[in-house]
């Protein structure tokens, strides 16, 4: 099992070793990454369509996602509130026009429709003759390779991370509190502790969590992981402007890994340019550790 984990992580490491200076190639990597996410989520939906007793399994998916999301959200916000109490904010939040939340919500929800399209096609046409699992595995390898390349060329270096203790504290707080929330949810759901920790270790990175979990635990739990993390992002979009003035660590930290990209515009508009490096460092650490932790827990 450990060998399988190392083989899956190998493309991520190889990608991180590829430096790119050509901006056109970097844009191509970013565009290809987005398309790969859609492809893999579609394949995940296709696999979900062929799960026995799909109707009853949908209830399981939403129950697991809702309980996991509620427990992790509660623990995240309490822990990040405590961090803000220990280290009061030293900046002033700014009042500017916020990014279009409806547009951002639509961008997130569109991924749900991709999964649903896969389910719909699978129910209408029997495509089980296709090697869906093998296609998903190869697509996952390519996705991790592209993620590694993107991280290497994001401009974030180890020196910058080590020189931003606030971002590191936020990331550590999110990790520990997410694990605590997942253990509480596991007790409620009767779920193995390592499965719960794996679902919690994506820190909002829905396009990765669903894929990795589905690859190891099947499309039901993979879909639950996807919905859990997508819900986290939707909540983050709504609460970041509310929390930023008095609780900036909570505003930045609850976005989890998405503070590096998707929720960064909301963070910048709400907190000003001075919190951007903090958000990038926190998001980068969580993004880097996410796939390693997920695969590590699933290997136990």
Mean pLDDT by 10 residues, the chain (300 residues): 60 82 84 80 79 77 94 96 79 54 69 83 84 79 80 67 81 96 96 95 84 85 89 84 86 89 77 80 87 88
Cα angle for residues 292, 260, 116 (degrees, 5° grid): 75
Residues of the domain holding 61: 2-298
Q: What is the pLDDT of residue 198?
A: 94
Number of domains into which the chain is organized: 1
Q: What is the pLDDT of residue 159?
A: 66
Q: What is the pLDDT of residue 68?
A: 96
CB 144 within 8 A of CB 15: yes
Q: What is the pLDDT of residue 249?
A: 92
Q: What is the pLDDT of residue 1?
A: 45
Q: What is the pLDDT of residue 74?
A: 97
Q: What is the pLDDT of residue 40?
A: 76
Q: What is the pLDDT of residue 196?
A: 95
**Alpha-carbon torsion (134, 139, 140, 141), positive or negative:** positive
**End-to-end CA separation in angstroms for the chain:** 8
């Amino acid at each position: 099992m450990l060998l399988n984990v190392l083989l899956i992580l190998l493309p991520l490491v190889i990608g991180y070793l590829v430096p790119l200076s050509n901006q056109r190639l970097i844009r191509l990597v970013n565009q290809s990454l987005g398309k790969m996410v859609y492809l893999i989520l579609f394949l995940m939906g296709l696999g979900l369509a062929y799960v026995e007793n799909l109707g009853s399994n949908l209830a399981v998916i939403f129950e697991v996602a809702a309980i996991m999301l509620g427990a992790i959200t509660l623990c995240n916000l309490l822990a990040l509130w405590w961090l803000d109490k220990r280290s009061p904010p030293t900046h002033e939040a700014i009042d500017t026009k916020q990014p279009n939340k409806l547009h951002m919500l639509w961008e997130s929800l569109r991924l749900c429709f991709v999964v649903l399209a896969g389910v719909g096609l699978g129910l209408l046409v029997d495509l089980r003759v296709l090697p869906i699992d093998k296609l998903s595995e190869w697509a996952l390898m390519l996705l991790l390779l592209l993620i590694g390349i993107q991280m290497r060329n994001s401009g974030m270096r180890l020196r910058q991370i080590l020189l931003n203790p606030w971002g590191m504290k936020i990331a550590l707080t999110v990790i520990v509190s997410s694990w605590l929330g997942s253990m509480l949810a596991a007790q409620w759901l009767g779920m193995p502790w390592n499965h719960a920790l794996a679902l919690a270790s994506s820190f909002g990175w829905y396009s990765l969590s669903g894929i990795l979990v589905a690859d190891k635990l099947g499309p039901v739990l993979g879909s639950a992981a996807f919905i859990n993390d997508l819900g986290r992002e939707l909540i983050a979009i709504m609460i970041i402007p509310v929390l930023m003035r008095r609780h900036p660590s909570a505003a930045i930290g609850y976005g989890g890994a998405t503070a590096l990209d998707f929720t960064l515009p909301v963070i910048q508009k709400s907190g000003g340019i001075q919190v951007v490096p903090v958000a990038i460092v926190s998001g980068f650490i969580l993004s880097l550790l996410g796939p390693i932790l997920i695969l590590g827990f699933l290997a136990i």
